[in-house]
Every structure is written in structure tokens, then in C-alpha cells.
Amino acid sequence: MRELKLMKGNEAIAEAAIRAGVDGYFGYPITPQSEVMETLMAEQPWKTTGMVVLQAESEIASINMVYGGAGCGKRVMTSSSSPGMSLMQEGITYLAGAELPCVVVNVVRGGPGLGTIQPAQSDYFQTVKGGGHGDYKLITLAPASVQEMADFVEDAFDLAFKYRNPVMILSDGVIGQMMEKVELKEFKPRWTMEHIEENYPWATTGKKKDRAKNIITSVQLEASVQEAFNHKLQAKYKAVEENEVLFEEVMCDDAEYLIVAYGSSARICQKSVEIAREKGIKVGMLRPITLYPFPTQPIQKYAEKVKGMLSVEMSAGQMVEDVRLAVNGKVPVEHFGRFGGSVHSPGEVVEALEQKLIGG
Amino acid sequence: MKEEIIIAGFGGQGVLSMGKILAYSGVMQDMEVSWMPAYGPEMRGGTANVTVILSEDRISSPILHEYDTAIILNQQSMDKFENDVKPGGTLIYDGNGITRHPERTDINIYRVDATDEAARMHAVKTFNMIVLGGYLEVKPIVKMENVVAGLKKSLPERHHHLIPMNEKAITRGGEVIKEVSLVK
């Protein structure tokens, strides 16, 4: 029986986490993502599924609680918004360095600094280029609807445990705060200890007599050992890049121009494509669903077909660099976006397309 | 069928919940819906607005620069959104506190004096449902049974005893809304 609900993106994250059998959520409130924890607290899943929900004393504490839970093989997560996410960066690179699976949700707001509470997409660099130190990568999913906010929670945990790597759900104030129809999945039970021990033998579940002790750490002081470990990480990231790229194409078949946009910008640009098409402009849109791994090859392919590309994001121009790397100078790639908490309208995107690419 | 609506007024007028009830009515009628509030600092003690879209097809942008219908409940919102109604579109407003009435001649304009009517009904809190009733009289995009179902879904159960009063307010809104000027 289909259960349709009208809910905010943030609420959908919380509901999906309970239904996916997540073991723990640790967080600290910040607009525009506070409804994630508010919903969890209202639902009280510790009484039903046994899921732990805890408001920590800070974002730094939250991400380190995630480290602890993940080290035990538990499915744990946190969420925050931009300034809080900056505080979590140390924890995230430690999680990546210790090869721990977890899910982190960033409902992005305008920055830099304390910035504003309104939507932005200016944490792209922080997310996909390494907000913390060292050669690590965060698998990054960018939902563009409330339904995807719900669906990506379980997808993110699957990827996290498949690759023993933290996974980011990079959302923003638009998707977090808007309400849409959502179909929620069936309740799944939390993993048993037997399941964890059998499938994730690295987890610190308590030493048995028949195996060596498991150590969760990100420190290897011996350079040669650290280098070998880095090679192992790089091999893992290569596998991620080969196997996990997700993207969506909208009206691309006959496109002479291509808009590249993710998350809420992709929703706005879909309307821009409709408006432009009514004016006779043949434009399509490619929406990266995974930001890391980035859909480099598909964009490369379109560089052979279109006259130019417009990267649209609520930032001063971040993803545009990855689009340009993919295109490698074959066609002009321009950036357009409002930022600092302002959101571009579908009409503004069409104007930018006309001025920057078609008229230019 | 697609209807793109902005509802704008003061915080506390029930702008967001009116949008939510309308959106839930759309869900009950098996339509695609989106509800996008302005949640920024303007909401904290100032104006509130929400964009609601009801459509038979998949909705692209939840954020718009022009609207089929603007429901305007204070002067600031009149100044901000009158020009964003599509030509041939609809503007509905409550005259209470309005110092500059709408001036456009290429849109359909209706007035629903919900503030006065809610006071007359001794049910100030049903203000937003009177406005909703006025809107649905002009644009009957969702059936009344689905609006009631939407109300039930939107309100917590402890408030379900208020549903008949809200239904009455919706009906009253339909009766008191009047044309100001219509595009020929």
C-alpha cells in the first residue's frame, strides 16, 4: 500500500532514517536543517526501532560520536548546515582516514562565516575537494526533491558500507525547507550484531579468541605504511569513480546548449529549459546526482555536441571548474548563479543563457 | 492543469498553514504539489510568504518569478507581488490595511475581506480559511471533499474538532469574495 505524505525535505531525511533501520543520529541544531533532529525527537524511534537520537553539545561532538558508532559497525549519521559542517571537517577526514562508513547531511546555507540562514550551494568545494586535510574523497549525493531526500538516506548507507567511506548528502535550504509528496519505504529492522560481525569483520564488536584485535585508527607514522595506505584509498576512489556515477538528462537529445545544475538549481533550471524551449532555444540540462564521483565522461560527450554550456549553481562559481575540466576547452563554459542566500529564478537563468552564451 | 500560487502576508496570519492545507488538498486529489516557504529573517516578525504549485504533471521549479494567482494579505506583499502576476492571471486580496489598491488592468482582481468576516464570525483564527474559501470559489481546482481531507491531514488530531468551524469559514469565504475588475 502506497503511503503518500506531504513533508519537508528535512523531515523526509529523519523519517527515512528511522525506516532504513539506522542505529544512531547525533546532531546539533542549526537553521535550515533543524527539522531533521526535531522530527527524530518527535518520532522517538528509541521506543520503536531502538535507534539512538542524541543532541550533542556541539557539531564537533556529534561527528566524533558518529566516529565511535561507525567504528562499531553501526549505521550512524549526523546532519548540519554550513557553519556546523565546517566544524565537522576534522572528524570527516578522520572518518575517511579510518575508513569508516557513515552518512553526513549538509543542508547548505549562505556563507562565508556565519553567513545567512537562506539557501546556497557554496559548500561544493568543501564537500568534493576535501574540506578536511589529506587525500580523501567524500562520496556525495545531491538530492533535487523531497523524495530523493528520503531515498538517498538508504542509498548513502549502502555506498558507505560498500566502500567503507563517509557519504555526504549535499542538500540546501530550498530542498530542506520545501514540502512535496513523498512515498516512504517500508520499515526495515536494524542490523543484528551477528549481521555486523559476519559482513563487516573490521568492526570493533569485541575481540573473539579466533581473531586478531580490530583497531580503528587513522594514524600511520611510518611514511611507507602511510603511502601504501594512501594507494589503497586511491584504488578505492578509482572504483567509486568507475562504478557509482549518477546523473539525469533532461531534453538533451537535440540540445545545442547544455545547462549543468544539481540539487535545487537543477529544479529551477528545468523550468528555465521549458521557458527557453518555448522561445525556440534548443537547450537541455544535465543534472549530476553524484557530485563525487562527478559525471565527467557524460559532460565530455556533450562537449562534442553542443555549442556551449552554462553551469548554474547558488555560488560564485564552484562546480563550473569541474565542468570546465570535463570539457577541456572544447566549447565555452560559463557560470551563472545568485549566491549569499539569494536564489536565482527560472527567468534569470534564461536571461543568463541568452546573454552569456547565445548572444555572446 | 497547473496552478502556480503565491500567498503573502504577515507572520501569524496563517499564510504557511493555508498553503499547506491547499497543498495537502492537492495530494488528496492525486496531484503533484510543492510548498516552498520564505523561511528567512523576514519571517521572524515580518512578512511571510509561500509558493504553492498544484499540477497534473511533474513540477519543475518550486521557485518562481511569476504566478497564476497571488493571494495578498498586506500592503508590503501588494507592493512586492502585484507585478509578478502573469498577464491574465488572478490577484486576490484582503482590503484590511491596504492603502494602495491593485492598479493592474491586465489581470483579474478579487477582494475577500476576510479580516472583517472572521471578526464578524467571532472566529479570528479562521481568517486564512475564509481567504482559502474565496480562492477556491474563483479557482475551484480542488474538490471540497479533498480540502476537508487535506485539513484532516494538516491538523494534528487534537485539533480535529475544529474542522467543522474551518469548513464553515471556507464556505463563508466563497460567499463574501467579490470581483473588483476582470480582464475582458
Across the range A6-31, mean pLDDT stands at 98
Number of helices and strands in chain B (H, E):
6, 7
Contacts of B65 in chain A (CB under 8 A): 345-348
Instruction: Give residue A2's pLDDT.
Output: 67
Give the pLDDT confidence of A196-243 residue by residue, as tens digits: 999 999 999 999 898 899 999 999 999 999 999 999 999 999 999 999
Range of the domain at B22: 2-181
Contacts of B33 in chain A (CB under 8 A): 6, 179-181
Give the residue range(s) of CATH 3.40.50.970 domains in chain A. 4-193
> In the beta sheet, which residues pair with residue A27?
A55
With 80 as the cut, is the pLDDT of residue A342 above it? yes
Say whether residue B161 is in contact with chain A using an 8 A CB cutoff.
no
Number of domains in chain B: 1
Q: Spell out where B26-142 has E strands.
A: 32-37, 47-55, 67-72, 85-93, 108-111
Across the range A25-44, mean pLDDT stands at 97
Asked whether A319 and A125 are in contact (CB, 8 A), the reply is no
**Residue A6, phi then psi, degrees to nearest 5:** -100, 115
Give the DSSP letter string of A125-143. HHHHTTSSSSS---EEE--
What distances in angstroms separate CA B126 from CA A324, B82, B139, B172, one per listed residue? 54, 25, 20, 10
Give the pLDDT confidence of A104-115 residue by residue, as tens digits: 999 999 999 999
Nearest to B96 by CA among B122, B125, B131: B131
Across the range A80-89, mean pLDDT stands at 98
Give the residue range(s) of CATH 3.40.50.920 domains in chain A. 247-358
Of all residues in chain A, the one with the smallest CA distance to B34 is A180
Q: How confident is the model at residue B184 (pLDDT cuts 50, 70, 90)?
A: low
Across the range A30-37, mean pLDDT stands at 97
Give the pLDDT confidence of A123-175 residue by residue, as tens digits: 999 999 989 999 999 999 999 999 999 999 999 999 999 999 999 999 999 99
Alpha-carbon distance of B138 to B12, in angstroms, equals 24
Instruction: Give residue A125's pLDDT.
Output: 98
CB contact under 8 A, B63 and A274: no
CATH top class, domain A247-358: alpha beta
Contacts of B20 in chain A (CB under 8 A): 6, 179
Alpha-carbon distance of A83 to B94, in angstroms, equals 40
Q: Spell out where A241-319 has E strands.
A: 247-250, 257-260, 283-288, 290-292, 308-312
Rg (CA), chain B: 15
Calculate the average pLDDT of chain A.
Answer: 97
Say whether residue A345 is in contact with chain B using an 8 A CB cutoff.
yes
Three-point CA angle A196, A141, B54, nearest 5°: 120
User: What single-letter amino acid sits at A269?
Assistant: C
Instruction: Give residue B44's pLDDT.
Output: 62
Instruction: Give residue A62's pLDDT.
Output: 98
Going B175 to B177 to B179 to B182, the CA torsion angle's sign is negative
Q: Which of A34, A109, A181 to mutate to test the interface with B (most CBs of B within 10 A)?
A: A181
Asked whether A134 and A351 are in contact (CB, 8 A), the reply is no
Instruction: Give residue A314's pLDDT.
Output: 98
Q: Which of A10, A38, A179, A251 to mutate to test the interface with B (most CBs of B within 10 A)?
A: A179
Say whether residue B63 is in contact with chain A using an 8 A CB cutoff.
yes
Asked whether B53 and B59 are in contact (CB, 8 A), the reply is yes
Instruction: Give residue A24's pLDDT.
Output: 98
Say whether residue A271 is in contact with chain B using an 8 A CB cutoff.
yes
Instruction: Give residue B43's pLDDT.
Output: 62
Q: Which of B7, B60, B66 to mutate to test the interface with A (most CBs of A within 10 A)?
A: B60
Lookup: cell for A13: 531525511
Nearest to A126 by CA among A324, A297, A318, A346: A318
Calculate the average pLDDT of chain B.
Answer: 94
Contacts of A248 in chain B (CB under 8 A): none
Say whether residue A10 is in contact with chain B using an 8 A CB cutoff.
no
Asked whether A32 and A119 are in contact (CB, 8 A), the reply is yes
CA distance A249 to chain B (A): 14
Q: How confident is the model at residue B176 (pLDDT cuts 50, 70, 90)?
A: very high
Q: How confident is the model at residue A360 (pLDDT cuts 50, 70, 90)?
A: low
CB contact under 8 A, B34 and A117: no
Asked whether A10 and A61 are in contact (CB, 8 A), the reply is no
Alpha-carbon distance of B53 to B57, in angstroms, equals 11
Contacts of A181 in chain B (CB under 8 A): 27, 32-33
| Residues in contact with A359: Cβ distance below 8 Å, sequence separation at least 6, in sequence order | none
Across the range B108-125, mean pLDDT stands at 96
Q: Which CATH superfamily is domain A4-193 in?
A: Thiamin diphosphate (ThDP)-binding fold, Pyr/PP domains (3.40.50.970)
CB contact under 8 A, B62 and A116: no
**Residue A120, phi then psi, degrees to nearest 5:** -155, 170
**Closest CB from A31, A273, A343 relative to B63:** A343
Q: Of chain B residues 106-135, which have a CB less than 8 A from chain A?
A: none
CA distance B178 to chain A (A): 31
With 80 as the cut, is the pLDDT of residue B124 above it? yes
Three-point CA angle B25, B30, B31, nearest 5°: 75
Torsion, CA A10, CA A16, CA A22, CA A28, rounded to 10: 10
Across the range A265-289, mean pLDDT stands at 97
Nearest to A127 by CA among A172, A64, A182, A174: A172
Bridging pattern class, strands B108-111 and B67-72: unpaired
**Is A31 in a helix, a strand, or coil?**
coil
CA distance A230 to chain B (A): 42
- More confidently predicted of B57 and A130: B57
Contacts of B41 in chain A (CB under 8 A): 116-117
For cell 545545442, the residue is A256
Alpha-carbon distance of A251 to A283, in angstroms, equals 7
Give the pLDDT confidence of B9-36 residue by residue, as tens digits: 998 889 999 999 999 999 999 999 999 9
User: The CATH number of the domain where B69 resides is what?
Assistant: 3.40.920.10
Say whether residue A354 is in contact with chain B using an 8 A CB cutoff.
no
Say whether residue A341 is in contact with chain B using an 8 A CB cutoff.
yes
